[in-house]
Structure 1
Amino acid sequence: METESFWDDLQAQCERLEPGVALLTPVSERAFGIESIERDRIVVQFGDSGEERPLWREQFEVFLERLAGGSVPVDDLPPSVEPYASVVTLSAEYAVEDDAITNDPEGAAAGESPYLIPAAEARTPPERVRDDALLLADHLERFGMDDPTSLDTESLTDRYVLLSDVQRGADRLRREVREPLLERLGPDQQLHGHFGSVRRTTRERRRTKDEEDVFDALDERGIPREWVLGIDRDKLDVVLAVTDLEEDEVYDVDEQVYAQKTTTDESEKYSRLEGLANRLAELEGEDGEELRDELAEIEDRLEEALSAG
């Protein structure tokens, strides 16, 4: 394929990508999206840093010259070349075979690439938390919050899954926020925001030193070793496994029954999100304002529900 034709085709393939999809760099596995397509470059943005980077047409041509002399092993790609390689595989001329990028019009499929990530999977952790919270808010609004026992089994299951996903995702984000927040908190200081306050709290977690260190410290002070000797749970479990000793003879067992989320259908959730986004995009004027007011009210009710839970 001529250089001009290749460039036109590559730009067309990038334009045809569905909103929200991303590409993955082959070696470092960094996700990036196509931000804009211009006459002499394709601008991409990396999801992990927000960094925007132009991929210049001239550099694509240099990469194609190297491919003309044979395949390029993926593992040999420098970090700066990785996004070029990922985008090239969208064309109808180049494919990935045996961990190498090669010129293979028969094996390549236009608009497809092993480095393409569907929109549902390409979202960052903060985006997933936001989307899950929106889905939960919509679910609470549609089915109500007052009496979970009145829900049909499918709706009750959906609510539990969404609550679990929101909680887990929010906990991950909270851990990420904790370190920079602690850097701004003095020992006896409180920080205040619109929604509440935080203060620094210190908890001690103790771990037993090596057995010999403990025994040496006891011996120095004349403390009998048997005072601290006890039952090793791990060793006890081994004894249970290889003898006829019964569990209830050595353990007091309390049974707790709980619901465990086993799967999450991200594609179904994303489909529902697209429906909500389309509703917002289609509504204008008073109807749109009314829906936005409803969403604001839903967010308030969601906050109350999560606080109560």
Structure 2
Amino acid sequence: MPFSVSWHTLLDEAEELPSDATLITPLSHKRFRITDTQEHRVIIECQESSDSRPLQREQFETLYRRIQERNSRFELDRIPADAEPYAAVLTLHPRFEIDEEAGVIIETEEPSATHVVDDEESRTEDRAEPDAGVYSDAFLLIDALERHDSTNLTELDTNALVNLYTLLSDVQREANDLRQDIADILLNRIHHDRPVHAQFGSVQRTARRSKSLRDEEEVLAALEDAGIDRERVLGVDPDKVDDALDVTELRESDVYEITETEYVRKAEVDEEVKETRLQGLKDRLAASESEEATELRAEIEDLEARIEDLTGFDTGTEYYTQSGADP
């Protein structure tokens, strides 16, 4: 594909950005915004300094060629520091992305799911059972929910409630672990603060600010230099109070307001019973040849196809490729 096609696709993507969208350079993590797009350059503004600078088409083409020359993978540390914005902007193109963990910018064979609808073959191919704990636990939970009316929990017997609670706890734990693993990978791939959309939703890179006090003497010295008397900020240290309780006859209730909250927690899980039940469900599903099961599978496939049609769209590049029309 000639660079001119990729260049105009990149310009189109940049023009569609919200005016307040922020991009992030892959190594130094400096933030900047695109303020204008022109035929031969992209104008950016750095957030730290508010300085404006043009990113020239020729430099984008050079980076584009370097990526192709190195089997569609180019090491980020080979990019000069002042050229990092080129890599960040290039990832707006649907066929380029940064793998920060591997330290490379890569050209993908196909546009991401955000930009293109899966073809019919990929929708209808056989599904394989994933090797993920949350999958099996979710399968068991679905079975339990189908057998018990969760809209009227007070009518369920204790055994059913214990089973539901245990399965919900397992699904929550496994899902959170998997969600965090996915989040870590996404953080290395998303280098701007605009939402990245997919079929079922979107994610967005953001930052959370936290703080902790420096060394006590350093804090007190800084406050005293600013005219704040140390007595105004000194308070009761819970750790020191606990130490004092250990060497005195004081009771906790003498110095603490104590409240107790009772709750239920999962004590143990019978993995053998879960595995037996799970295998039984799989066997029943595989052996089911009833008309009802066939209709259900057809309904599911039809629903998946409708969801794809409603949530996906073809890029202009794909349209021209399929139709044979000139761009």
TM-score by length of 2: 0.48
Map of 1:19 onto structure 2: none
* 2:147 equivalent to 1:142: yes
For residues 260 and 219 of structure 2, what CA distance do their matches in structure 1 show?
A: 35
What do the CA deviations read for 1:64-109 (whole angstroms, capped 9, x no partner)? xxxxxxxxxxxxxxxxxxxxxxxxxxxxxxxxxxxxxxxxxxxxxx
Per the TM alignment, residue 220 of structure 1 is displaced from its structure 2 partner at its CA by: 2.7
Q: Percent identity?
A: 46
Q: Which amino acid aligns with 2:231?
A: E
Which of 193, 196, 202 lines up with 1:191 in the alignment?
Answer: 196
For residues 279 and 235 of structure 2, what CA distance do their matches in structure 1 show?
A: 59
For residues 202 and 213 of structure 2, what CA distance do their matches in structure 1 show?
A: 35
For residues 203 and 190 of structure 1, what CA distance do their matches in structure 2 show?
A: 17
Which of 280, 284, 289 lines up with 1:279 in the alignment?
Answer: 284
Per the TM alignment, residue 179 of structure 1 is displaced from its structure 2 partner at its CA by: 1.7
What do the CA deviations read for 1:225-256 (whole angstroms, capped 9, x no partner)? 22221111112122233322232332222322
Which of 180, 190, 207 lines up with 1:175 in the alignment?
Answer: 180
Which of 249, 254, 258 lines up with 2:259 in the alignment?
Answer: 254
Please give the secondary structure, in 1, of the residue aligned with 2:132: helix
* 2:275 equivalent to 1:265: no
Which of 219, 226, 229 lines up with 2:224 in the alignment?
Answer: 219
Mapped contact 2:140–2:278 kept (Cα < 8 A): yes
Per the TM alignment, residue 163 of structure 1 is displaced from its structure 2 partner at its CA by: 0.5
Q: Which amino acid aligns with 1:241?
A: D
Q: Which amino acid aligns with 2:225?
A: E
For residues 294 and 269 of structure 1, what CA distance do their matches in structure 2 show?
A: 29
Runs of 4 or more consecutive aligned structure 1 residues displaced over 4 Å after TM superposition: 290-296
Which sections of structure 2, spanning at least 5 residues, go unmatched?
Answer: 1-128, 302-327
CA 281–208 in structure 1, closer or farther in 2 if over 3 Å, else same: same
Map of 2:75 onto structure 1: none
Per the TM alignment, residue 294 of structure 1 is displaced from its structure 2 partner at its CA by: 9.2
Q: Which amino acid aligns with 1:137?
A: I
Q: Larger deviation: 203-212 or 164-173?
A: 203-212
Per the TM alignment, residue 157 of structure 1 is displaced from its structure 2 partner at its CA by: 0.3
Which of 231, 243, 266 lines up with 2:248 in the alignment?
Answer: 243
* 2:164 equivalent to 1:159: yes
CA 234–290 in structure 1, closer or farther in 2 if over 3 Å, else same: farther
CA 291–131 in structure 1, closer or farther in 2 if over 3 Å, else same: farther
For residues 251 and 266 of structure 1, what CA distance do their matches in structure 2 show?
A: 42
Please give the secondary structure, in 2, of the residue aligned with 1:254: coil
CA 292–270 in structure 1, closer or farther in 2 if over 3 Å, else same: farther
* 2:207 equivalent to 1:202: yes
What do the CA deviations read for 1:139-197 (whole angstroms, capped 9, x no partner)? 00011221111111111001001011111111111110112212333443001122222
CA 214–131 in structure 1, closer or farther in 2 if over 3 Å, else same: same
* 2:248 equivalent to 1:230: no
Q: Which amino acid aligns with 2:154?
A: T
Mapped contact 2:193–2:206 kept (Cα < 8 A): no
Mapped contact 2:195–2:204 kept (Cα < 8 A): yes
Q: Which amino acid aligns with 1:278?
A: D
What do the CA deviations read for 1:97-137 (whole angstroms, capped 9, x no partner)? xxxxxxxxxxxxxxxxxxxxxxxxxx99x621000001000
Higher relative contact order (CA 8 A, sep 6+): 2
Map of 1:120 onto structure 2: none
Q: Which amino acid aligns with 2:155?
A: S
For residues 295 and 270 of structure 1, what CA distance do their matches in structure 2 show?
A: 26
CA 201–219 in structure 1, closer or farther in 2 if over 3 Å, else same: same
Please give the secondary structure, in 1, of the residue aligned with 2:264: coil
What do the CA deviations read for 1:264-305 (whole angstroms, capped 9, x no partner)? 111111111000011012112524325647999xxxxxxxxx
CA 140–277 in structure 1, closer or farther in 2 if over 3 Å, else same: same
Q: Which amino acid aligns with 1:276?
A: L
Q: Which amino acid aligns with 1:162?
A: L
